[in-house]
Structure 1
Amino acid sequence: MTVRKSLALATATVALGSGLALAAPAAQAAPSAPAAQSAPGAAAARTEASAAKAGWHLIWGPKSHKPTKYWATPDFAPRSRTLGVNARCWNGGDGTKYKIDVVRTRDKKVVKKGGWGYCNGGWMTVKASTSSGTAYYMRIYLKGKAHTVEAKAYYYR
């Protein structure tokens, strides 16, 4: 009988020990399961942050000017080597055209000339390779009647 009790006690001890041993990894795994789920979330957050950094960033505008035939905008300085400027005007069907030039402020050098487009309310875009931190401005010319002009500038990072 003592052997039976000893055997039953040993079996109970092994079963109890095994149960604790099996429960221990599950208990350890429970806290790391949310961490494993947050790892892709953290990666997604990093991806969203880098996506927010990459792309076009507004540095000036949109600003409007009363009806005019020429507008030299205020200075703006891109934070990268790629600068994009946009402008538009409205003509009411009179055939007025406009043009955008990107000018470096320090020496008044035209770094990029845009072509002529009609004042139809659509945005004209001119992209230029620039020096980061150098100031630039736009010269917007209208051929025809004076019209309201709207402009803005971006840099790409």
Structure 2
Amino acid sequence: MTARKSLALATATVALGTGLAMAAPAALAAPAAHSTPGTTASQTGASASKAGWHLIWGPKSHKPTTYWATPDFVPRSGTLGVNARCWNGGDGTKYKIDVVRTRDKKVVKKGGWGYCNGGWMTVKANASSGTSYYMRIYLKGKAHTVEAKAYYYR
């Protein structure tokens, strides 16, 4: 009887672990339950022509820093969404994201300040399709590892 329970428990653990591993990328990509940049066409199984958020850059991370100007990315629509996050171990460090048009260094959208707690911060901006943009990510406090990604909505 004990061997049967142990086998059943081991089988359930493997099944649950496999299910969580398969769901992890989608769970990490969706920063909130409402409609925000998060799931891509490849994660949902939809074709690239379907409406939704499409990943155009990232996720990329930067070693511990207090400022990161990301590489450029080019949206293919007029709606741009960016995500960033950092981890602080409870030291109170805050961060913010600005979306910047590359050609003239104009800040097209400023994000508010949030705590480095591992959660994704989302900033949405109106963009010009085919124009290059990048993010400026600022940390107030200690240097921490930062992860970021960018999407367009079509």
Scaled by the length of structure 1, what TM-score is found? 0.68
Aligned position for 1:65 = 62
Report the CA distance shift for 1:51/1:109 in structure 2 as closer, same or farther (over 3 A).
closer
1:80 corresponds to 2:77: yes
Among 146, 150, 153, the alignment partner of 2:147 is 150
* 1:10-49 matches, cutoff 5 A: none
- 1:24-61 superposed Cα distances (whole Å, 9 cap, x missing partner): xxxxxxxxxxxxxxxxxxxxxxxx96785210000000
* Residues 1:122 and 2:119 are matched in the alignment: yes
Gaps (5+ residues) in structure 2?
1-44
Q: Distance in 2 between matches of 1:131 and 1:51?
A: 20
Determine helix, strand or coil for the equivalent of 2:150: strand
CA distance in 2, matches of 1:108, 1:91: 29
Rounded Cα–Cα distance in structure 1 between residues aligned with 2:48 and 2:59: 23
Q: Which runs of 5 or more residues in structure 1 are unaligned?
A: 1-47
The CA RMSD measured in Å over matched residues stands at: 1.5
Distance 1:59 1:51, change over 3 A: closer
Question: SS of the counterpart of 2:123?
Answer: strand
- Provide the residue aligned with 2:98 in structure 1: 101
Q: How has the CA–CA distance of structure 1 residues 90 and 49 changed in structure 2, closer, same or farther, with 3 Å as cutoff?
A: closer
> What is the identity percentage for the equivalent residue pairs of Structure 1 and Structure 2?
93
Aligned residue for 2:53? 56
Alignment-mate amino acid for residue 138 of structure 1:
M
In structure 2, give the amino acid aligned to 1:67.
P
What is the SS of the residue equivalent to 1:53? coil
Aligned pairs, how many? 110
TM-score normalised over the length of structure 2 = 0.69
**Alpha-carbon distance in 2 for matches of 1:115, 1:109:** 17
Partners of 2:111 and 2:145 in 1: how far apart? 19
2:85 maps to amino acid: R
Shift of 1:76: 0.2
